[in-house]
Structure 1
Amino acid sequence: MMNHIWSGRSKLWIILWPCSVLYGVITWLIKISFKCGWRKRWRAKCPVVVVGNLTVGGNGKTPVVIWLIQALQERGLRIGVVSRGYGGKAKRYPLLVTEDTSPSQAGDEPVMIAQRTQVPVAVAPNRYLAAKALLDAHDIDVIVTDDGLQHYALHRDIEIVVIDGVRRFGNGWLLPAGPMRERVSRLSNVDAIIVNGGHVNVNNIEIAMTIKPGLAINLLTGKPISLHKLPPIVAMAGIGYPPNFFNMIKKQGINPIAEIAFTDHYVYSKAELHSLTKQDQCLLMTEKDAVKCRNFAQPNWWYLLVDAHLHGSRVSTLLADIVELYTTTRDVRLRY
């Protein structure tokens, strides 16, 4: 329903417009309170890179976070990640993610990032507390925040915005009449704009990105297999925009028997998912869904690995800027 309104195909946004005005006033007041110094920002002793969105959900932000971690590790940097931990509810914050941390505690995305990259991950509603916890527990060269573009309590050195190149900004209105967390004009103040698919503005600082599928991984055994060697597929996704996952599968020449969409951060049960497939079928899910299903996984459950691929000369420039920022920050610390 909301996607229909936000896409501009429905005039029902008019009813929600007064709420959008109120949302805009509140977010402006929060932003100006930090800008004017009425509220203080916490600055980490190392560079902080924010990877965030202007719109809600499903833009490909987490694959970009994983790509950035791996790219900076290849350049010899020690990376830590902070996150709000949506979908998780810990007894206390900040929470350092370990092998025993469940998605119900930390949220699905932080657990997935920790398992995929093996870097330290900390979770807290106040992200600067998560950053403090990371630096107290680990030697970190660069902190990457998964989301948090609008969390101004944590000082950031570089801001990266990820955009869905097909849906872009919908009807352009702020929440709840539209999908926007901030106005499009906010892009003029960020350091990089990464566009996932669709059209890329070559006259801007936009970086083209594609998300490519890899192997399917069995949830029980960890066995990898080509997507084309799987039995008939029932596809499911509980992410910000499930059609992106289903379309990716179909672009590989595979037509799922069924496409089942759940809400983002959905909490699954064994009985619910077990009923989705017949004996000669497999259930294929996203990696983010898989971290919530491993404890009750069935032999015919698989998840699809995906990787972000960024294109163009601006990619090297972005990475070089982060490395240079780290070097400068390190040299200043050593001097004093």
Structure 2
Amino acid sequence: MNLFEKIYLFCYLRKKEKALKNQKKLPFPVISVGNLTVGGTGKTPFTISLTNELKKKGYEPVILTRGYRGKIKKPVIVTKQHTANEVGDEPLMMALEGFRVIKSIDRYHGGLFAINEFRFNQSDKVIFIIDDGFQHWKLYRDLNIVLVDGIRGFGNGRFIPFGPLRSPIDEVIEADIVFITKRKNEELYKKLTDSGIKNIYFADLKVKCIKHGDGEEIKPSGQKVFAFAGIGNFQSFLELLTSLDLKITGYQQFIDHKQYNKCSIKKILKASKYAELLITTKKDFIKLKQSYFNKKLFYLDISMQIEHIEELLMNLHINLDTPHDAKNLTA
């Protein structure tokens, strides 16, 4: 660990200590979905799958997100009418699924905002889900879920910018559940088990289909494809594409949360001129004007399969049916 990493760790621990001392609690259960590394573990598809599962069980899940790079600063209900530039790409993705999504830098205030706006009362089966919540210590969570990338693991084990770590690896023990995402990794599973973690499961990424913006699905049959995306783990995106009946003629990787401008679009069009299809992620698709691509642009629609979600909640004795302290039902 070099000097810069030591400074990072010192500041990290000071910030955590201060936040925990002033931690606040919402009057409904809170589930945190987060990771120890920078991007690419599949938080958004995991959160979407988790939210769907909770809805099936009769709960009213509300997703609390900071809305990275979204220009709107005050708490807001994310709707289909917003743009990624206003609220962030991932919150917009989740809102397009029909979920209740609140963009708020302070997730506690976002929760109070949601309680007022949706007029929840003590009898409602509300569950808050903190998207990317592992490092958001200001808000108490009843269940702490940590995702670890099954392809990259913890990388070189160093702190940013020298590696992918946002938190010390040993803090993984603070998780109630760890999910190894995208790919089954038995070696990583053993390392986590040896560290003392008991609840470790897998959550694999699955391709649902390839879609156009109007909802049209296509069945690939050897078409020439140019792939591009601005996500945390581009390699996993390519691996999913190569599992399909496609011929990848080229690809372009952009930074995570890429904001596409005319220059980057021209670059894509030039590099893909011999391709029959352009395929990207849904996260990127919602930020692009389809008119630029002459109906050749599609996105890879994926889902994440969460193992034993109902069993996990029961075994961990998380009583999500019991209302919390009701004193904060009004802001």
Q: TM-score, normalised by structure 1?
A: 0.85
Matches within 5 A, 1:203-282: 203=193, 204-219=198-213, 221-226=214-219, 228-229=220-221, 231-269=223-261, 271-272=265-266, 273-278=268-273, 281-282=276-277
Q: Deviations over 1:247-289 (max 9, x none)?
A: 1111224331111111111111354344343376111010111
Matches within 5 A, 1:100-115: 100-115=81-96
- Count of residue correspondences: 310
Aligned to 1:78: 60
Q: For 1:26, what is the secondary structure of its paired residue?
A: helix
**Residue 34, structure 1, aligned to residue 19, structure 2:** yes
**Residue 306, structure 1, aligned to residue 302, structure 2:** yes
Q: For 1:329, what is the secondary structure of its paired residue?
A: coil
Matches within 5 A, 1:124-139: 124-138=104-118, 139=120
Offset at 1:61? 1.2
Offset at 1:180? 1.0
Q: For 1:256, what is the secondary structure of its paired residue?
A: strand
- The verdict on how the C-alpha distance between 1:296 and 1:326 changes in structure 2, with shifts beyond 3 A counting, is farther
Cα distance in 1 between the residues matched to 2:247 and 2:69: 30
Out of 145, 163, 167, the position equivalent to 2:152 is 167
- 8 Å CA contact 2:143–2:318 kept in 1: the answer is no
Q: For 1:194, what is the secondary structure of its paired residue?
A: strand
Cα distance in 1 between the residues matched to 2:4 and 2:248: 39
Residue identity opposite 2:312 in structure 1: L
Cα distance in 1 between the residues matched to 2:317 and 2:61: 12
Out of 286, 293, 312, the position equivalent to 1:291 is 286
Cα distance in 2 between the residues matched to 1:319 and 1:235: 38
Q: For 1:62, what is the secondary structure of its paired residue?
A: helix
**Residue 25, structure 1, aligned to residue 45, structure 2:** no
- 8 Å CA contact 2:89–2:283 kept in 1: the answer is yes
Aligned to 1:6: none
Q: TM-score, normalised by structure 2?
A: 0.86
Offset at 1:32? 1.6
- 8 Å CA contact 1:19–1:176 kept in 2: the answer is no
Cα distance in 1 between the residues matched to 2:103 and 2:316: 23
Aligned to 1:7: none
Q: For 1:247, what is the secondary structure of its paired residue?
A: helix
Q: For 1:98, what is the secondary structure of its paired residue?
A: coil
- 8 Å CA contact 1:286–1:305 kept in 2: the answer is yes
- 8 Å CA contact 2:226–2:277 kept in 1: the answer is yes
- 8 Å CA contact 1:46–1:142 kept in 2: the answer is yes
Out of 98, 115, 136, the position equivalent to 1:151 is 136
Q: For 2:50, what is the secondary structure of its paired residue?
A: helix
Out of 35, 38, 45, the position equivalent to 1:56 is 38
**Unmatched 5+ stretches in structure 1:** 1-13
| Identity percentage of aligned residues | 27
Offset at 1:215? 1.1
- 8 Å CA contact 1:216–1:225 kept in 2: the answer is yes
- 8 Å CA contact 2:249–2:275 kept in 1: the answer is no
Q: For 2:151, what is the secondary structure of its paired residue?
A: coil
Q: For 2:146, what is the secondary structure of its paired residue?
A: strand
Aligned to 2:185: 199
Residue identity opposite 1:199 in structure 2: N
- The verdict on how the C-alpha distance between 1:324 and 1:155 changes in structure 2, with shifts beyond 3 A counting, is closer
- 8 Å CA contact 2:224–2:249 kept in 1: the answer is yes
Aligned to 2:168: 183
Q: For 1:156, what is the secondary structure of its paired residue?
A: coil
Aligned to 1:47: 29
Cα distance in 1 between the residues matched to 2:63 and 2:290: 25
- 8 Å CA contact 2:75–2:103 kept in 1: the answer is yes
Q: Deviations over 1:161-188 (max 9, x none)?
A: 1111121111212222221111121121
Offset at 1:75? 0.4
Cα distance in 1 between the residues matched to 2:102 and 2:5: 32
Residue identity opposite 1:52 in structure 2: G
- 8 Å CA contact 1:285–1:303 kept in 2: the answer is yes
- The verdict on how the C-alpha distance between 1:294 and 1:120 changes in structure 2, with shifts beyond 3 A counting, is farther
